[in-house]
Amino acid sequence: NPTQVGTALQVFHNLGTLKDTIANVVDGYCTVLEENIKNALDIKVLTQPSQTGTRGGPGRAAMPTPGNTAAFRAALWTNMEKLMDQICAACGQVQHLQKVLTKKRDPVSHVCFIEEIVKDGQADILYKFWTAVTQALSSQFQSATDSSMFLKQAFEGEYPKLLRLYNDLWKRLQQYSQNIQRSFNTSGTTDLFAELQQMEEDVQDIFMQKPQDYDPEKALKDSLQQYEAAYLSKSLSRLFDPINLVFPPGGRNPPSSDELDSIIKTIASELNVAAVDPDLSLAVAKNVAKTIQLYGVKSEQLLSTQGDASQVIGPLTEGQRRNVAVVNSLYKLHQSVLKVISNQSSFPAAAEQTVTTALKAVHDLMGNAVQPLLNSVGDSVEAIIITMHQEDFSGSLSSSGKPDVPCSLYMKELQGFIGRVMSDYFRHFECFDFVFDNTEAMAQRAIELFIRNASLIRPLGEGGKMRLAADFAQMELAVAPLCRRVSDLGKCYRQLRSFRPLLFQTSEHIASSPALGEVIPFSIILQFLFTRAPPELKSPFQRAEWSIARYSQWLDDHPSEKDRLALIR
């Protein structure tokens, strides 16, 4: 009751003992709380709830009997909750006292009482009280857990529970501070407050004159640091153990899906338990990131990088089969962890960022694992396309006006090869999107090489044009297995579509075609126009005395249109 407290303060002020009285009251609170902390952590009382107060026999160690650990833990947490209530109540009383001191003025001298207290450079009473309480917590917890293994294990093993009690205490103190402020602001009509200076409406920090760099919440939680460190180290062991178990030394296969599920369950449970506090969530998320890295490292050791990993001639080899299994297992881990994160309700952004960065590394590792196979397939596709120059396109039109065969031999071979590669190798990957992201790039490259080589065919007769036009149509079917939809391939697909009609147009028409430069690069069109010239005007690669393969390689090394046009010029 502010009025009664105000009156009492006035009495002590008149007696000239205000300062000492306040000091004694605050010290009294501190002493009582220190006793409370001691009692809450008293292992003798905790282990023998029935015979409270009886002394143990001489030399009897106070420890829970084997069957009683659960009862001991329950008693400990009940005590801790009680202790938090006691701290909260005492702190509330000191806050209230401080609030009245800041409002109350002496009716004669008009000196504010708080100024009396602070004038000898003494810190404000709440700060003094709080530092005493937080230091008592630190020292009492330290000595109690040093002398009892059971207390130590309880606080380390169930650290999130302890942290939650502390967080709740802090929330209650903040709440209480705001409530006091409100009641003081609204009860300004009573006699006492007529003589009080009206304080500003906003809710002040409960600490009035604390040192600049003092963080009262941090001071409270400092007593928990050693338990947090121990908890995090145990948490990391819990996360690493199932992984070390399923990747035995000398093992050849990635974990089964049941084994992977148990790893994911552990990750989910560690994150769920840590959700009581954003800082703890972040610390455990860092552990989860380390766990994902460990899984990646162990998986990478299983990958086969020998020659047989990249062969594309026969059926899947043992090494390739294992690589597929590793990629599938990394993919499952990737997807499952993403799901766990999305199910976390109040996951801090920094924690999410930490885990997603680790997952990106897993995705990169999947890419590295399939790269040798992709390179082989790419090389084979290129080798098949370049054989078009071994076929004869110089023939004139047959009497029917249609080509004799639906498409050329190299195109048949290309279609067969791509179909076989997809069914023999890529069909076994469970990560379809990931596979298509990689094979679509291969399809784009195949189309680019096809147009490049088609523009270099020389000589090209009317019959040859018909057959080449059929090849253009067949090329879409050839790369179809590599993509979700061929039309999604973008620019190279538009080039494939735009180039085909140019085969039958006059050079004047081609020069004024809207596709020129916009869809099809000038360098490709120029190469194509050279093939219509009389034999003495050589194509650029012939002029340079290069094979077509070497010219193609040069174009790959010089992707800029400027360089290509310079060479042609």
Provide DSSP, 288-343: HHHHHHHHHHHHHHH---SGGGS--SSS--HHHHHHHHHHHHHHHHHHHHHHHHHT
Q: Sorting pLDDT into bands at 50, 70 and 90, what band is 210?
A: low
509-552 confidence digits (pLDDT tens): 999 999 998 899 999 999 999 999 998 999 999 999 999 999 99
Q: Specify the range with the lowest mean pLDDT, choosing from 106-115, 155-164, 212-221, 367-376.
A: 106-115
Range list of H helices, 247-311? 257-274, 278-302
Beta bridge partners of residue 105, listed in sequence order? 112
Q: Sorting pLDDT into bands at 50, 70 and 90, what band is 203?
A: very low
Q: Quote the CA–CA distance of 519 and 280 in Å, as a whole number.
A: 55
DSSP code at position 209: S
Residue 14's pLDDT is 83
Instruction: Say if residue 128's pLDDT is above 70.
Output: yes
Q: Sorting pLDDT into bands at 50, 70 and 90, what band is 198?
A: very low
Residue 179's pLDDT is 80
Query: Do the Cβ atoms of 455 and 510 come closer than 8 Å?
Result: no
Distance of CA 232 to the CA centre of its chain: 18
Residue 58's pLDDT is 54
Query: Do the Cβ atoms of 141 and 159 come closer than 8 Å?
Result: no
Beta bridge partners of residue 516, listed in sequence order? 520
Which of 120, 110, 108, 149 has the alpha carbon at shortest distance from 22?
120
Residue 114's pLDDT is 77
Residue 234's pLDDT is 96
User: Token digits for 378?
Assistant: 């790419």
Q: Quote the CA–CA distance of 440 and 419 in Å, as a whole number.
A: 14
Average pLDDT, the chain: 87
Q: Sorting pLDDT into bands at 50, 70 and 90, what band is 274?
A: very high
Query: Do the Cβ atoms of 362 and 334 come closer than 8 Å?
Result: yes
Residue 121's pLDDT is 57
Which of 284, 295, 285, 287 has the alpha carbon at shortest distance from 259?
295
Q: Specify the range with the lowest mean pLDDT, choosing from 246-250, 265-269, 555-559.
A: 246-250
Residue 23's pLDDT is 86
Residue 229's pLDDT is 94
CA distances from 429 to 84, 264, 380, 434 (A): 55, 21, 21, 9
Q: Quote the CA–CA distance of 510 and 499 in Å, as a whole number.
A: 10
Residue extents of the structural domains in the chain: 2-48+68-183, 233-363, 391-536
Q: Sorting pLDDT into bands at 50, 70 and 90, what band is 355?
A: very high
* Residue 319 Rama label (left phi>0; alpha psi -120 to 50; beta): alpha
277-299 confidence digits (pLDDT tens): 999 999 999 999 999 999 999 99
Give the three-class secondary structure for 142: helix
Query: Do the Cβ atoms of 207 and 126 come closer than 8 Å?
Result: yes
Q: Quote the CA–CA distance of 391 and 388 in Å, as a whole number.
A: 5
Instruction: Say if residue 403's pLDDT is above 80.
Output: no
State mean pLDDT over 382-398: 91
Residue 54's pLDDT is 45
12-69 confidence digits (pLDDT tens): 888 888 888 888 998 999 999 999 999 998 888 887 655 444 444 555 555 666 567 7
User: Token digits for 208?
Assistant: 């009035």
Residue 64's pLDDT is 61
Residue 194's pLDDT is 36
232-247 confidence digits (pLDDT tens): 999 999 999 999 999 9
Q: Quote the CA–CA distance of 552 and 451 in Å, as a whole number.
A: 11
Collect all residues with Cβ–Cβ distance below 8 Å to 199 and sequence separation of at least 6.
Answer: 102, 103, 184, 185
pTM value is: 0.81
Beta bridge partners of residue 112, listed in sequence order? 105
Query: Do the Cβ atoms of 394 and 464 come closer than 8 Å?
Result: yes
Following DSSP, what letter does each residue of 441-463 receive, concatenated? Answer: HHHHHHHHHHHHHHTT--S--HH
Percentage with pLDDT > 70 across the chain: 89
Bigger pLDDT: 124 or 399?
124
Residue 182's pLDDT is 74
Bigger pLDDT: 198 or 313?
313
What angle in degrees, to the nearest 10, is found between the helix axes of 149-157 and 69-103? Answer: 70
Beta bridge partners of residue 520, listed in sequence order? 516
Give the three-class secondary structure for 208: coil
Give the three-class secondary structure for 214: coil
Exposed/middle/buried for residue 316 (C-beta within 10 Å: 0-12, 13-18, 19+): middle
Bigger pLDDT: 376 or 195?
376
Which of 397, 262, 416 has the alpha carbon at shortest distance from 336?
262
Residue 348's pLDDT is 93
Q: Specify the range with the lowest mean pLDDT, choosing from 142-156, 254-268, 390-404, 546-560.
A: 390-404
Percentage with pLDDT > 90 across the chain: 64
Q: Sorting pLDDT into bands at 50, 70 and 90, what band is 90?
A: very high
